[in-house]
Chain A
């Protein structure tokens, strides 16, 4: 499974949307089940699966999935 496939699986699982298509422009406001708790759950799952620990400040600049992918790349995750 590629890193992108693992990411998609996390989003689909947490947001309970098995058919969710991840695009760089996708934002939390496009998905009704994506609230603050889901946001945190996605982050916690990504930290676990990719063995990284984000700095809280990182999240203040994230506006969409594309921003999150860029952040992951800064932490050395190849996408």
Chain B
């Protein structure tokens, strides 16, 4: 490893990293899309964008890191989402150092949302905890009584900023630049549940994949109204992860989650690991399928 060196990925390295990821991980995203994924405005203290394994001037391996500041139990915490770990075959034996370098950064809570099966033993060695979660898929049924109960669905950007609480309004502002994410507040004045979702296709059916729910109690209270509002927008089903502790409606279908969710933190509970501060929101992953 005499010429090998691990370097933090700075903003000026991102174009080269994007080219590397496009060539070695997936060609389904452009270099600009990779660059945008790592330049989200989700943290004021971002130390890097991950790390690069370099052989001289050549990048031979990369691990991506997306940093964010998130409110957990009333306190702002620093979270590092690890993604896009890839190393050229001839340097595979050194790839573990990229991960070690990343998780040794003090003060961060670490999440991995798209691990590959063959990497799981390595993550376990690094003390990551696996979160068990399933998909709850529910049919959206018309519910014409929403307005009778004074329940409204708000989707207009300007109005959303007015009805959302301070923290939800911040989350909303931080995600308006990703056009594949859709936003809705459902509820009544002073008690809106903010939902971020993505329109996907599930068994050829248009479905709302819920990525974020601001308040699970309000979500359960207004679930029928939400389903009805989604149906009006052409989505026949809604899909949510069971780890968010939502109530499971009678006619739901439970599906196995395609990839495990991993966390390295003594603070974050299962429901605190947020999809919206990861590659799942920074990249349009469902468009790549």
**Could you tell me which A residues sit within 8 Å of B by CB distance?**
27-29, 34-41, 43-44, 56-57, 59-60, 63
Contact = CB atoms under 8 A, between A and B. Distances in A.
B82 to A, nearest CB: 14
Interface stretch (B97-105, B206-214, B217-225): B97-105
A40 to B, nearest CB: 5
B90 interface: yes
A-B pairs with lowest CB-CB distance, top 8: A28-B93, A35-B92, A36-B96, A36-B95, A40-B125, A56-B100, A63-B1, A40-B122
Contacts of A43: 125
B96 A39 contact: yes
A27 B125 CA distance: 21
Contacts, number: 50
Contacts of B93: 27-29, 34-36, 38-39
Interface of B: 1-2, 6, 87, 90-97, 100-101, 103-104, 118-119, 121-122, 125-126
Nearest to B127: A56
A63 B1 CA distance: 6
Contacts of B104: 56-57, 60
Contacts of B97: 59-60
A36 B92 contact: yes
Given A56-B103, A63-B1, A44 B125 contact: yes
13 contacts: A27-B1, A29-B90, A36-B87, A36-B94, A36-B95, A36-B96, A36-B122, A37-B118, A39-B93, A44-B125, A56-B103, A56-B104, A59-B100
